[in-house]
Amino acid sequence: MTLHREGRATITISTILFLIVSFVFYYFLFEAYPVIFWILETAWIVVFALIISFFRIPGRNYTMDDTAVIAPCDGKVVVIEEVEADEYFKDRRIQVSIFMSPLNVHVNRNPVNGEIVYNQYHKGKYLVAWHPKSSTENERHSNVYRHSSGKEVLTKQIAGALAKRIVNYNQVGKKVKQNEEMGFIKFGSRVDLLLPLDAKINVKIGDVAVGGVTVVARW
């Protein structure tokens, strides 16, 4: 397992803060109140470990399949429905939404091979990520991938109540490979996929998706 580059500043600041607070705990509590010291220090270690885990990149055998749309992130499938596209597309699409908890891996990956034909950041609110309006009202970053077959899929990286920073590495005209890094959402949220109506959905609501591994759909 390695740590993502997006975590460098946060991990550095957190490490310094961890050492300072641990020293304060030790100096004022260790001899006089050892039980309280160990309770607070243990809780502080858990918080520090969680911050580090936000930026982990676990080793995986990624699914490489040019006929498949692969999960762009880790998390639980919370929406599968036919919707009227509100961005880029002018038709109806199948929306698949994956909710990322703070405990999930936060790297986002390209779901297909193709060319980036649309790349747009939108300012917005920070509604909880499972709110029905978060797809259209929250801060988000959208990409459209054009596959060699001519079919297109749109992804939305959506910020939530905790996620305050979306990073996206794509740009219009870029040729990308399936499972390369699309970006990063700090501290959770969700990613939406808008797929053609004839896509064969391979997941159901409640399934736990593994980014870069789980086949969400085939086309």
Residue 155 in tokens: 């992804």
* Annotated catalytic residue within 134, 135, 142, 189: 189
- Report the alpha-carbon angle 91-96-100, nearest 5: 140
Of 216, 176, 170, nearest to 192 by C-alpha is 216
Distance, CA of 26 to CA of 138 (rounded, Å): 43
Distance, CA of 212 to CA of 200 (rounded, Å): 18
Residue 173 in tokens: 């005209």
- Determine whether 135 is an active site residue: no
Q: Is the dihedral of CA 86, 89, 93, 94 positive or negative?
A: negative
Distance, CA of 129 to CA of 135 (rounded, Å): 8
Distance, CA of 162 to CA of 126 (rounded, Å): 8
Residue 138 in tokens: 């929250």
β-pairing verdict for 107-109 and 200-201: unpaired
* Crossing angle (nearest 10°) for helices 34-53 and 8-29: 180
Please list the active-site residues: 189
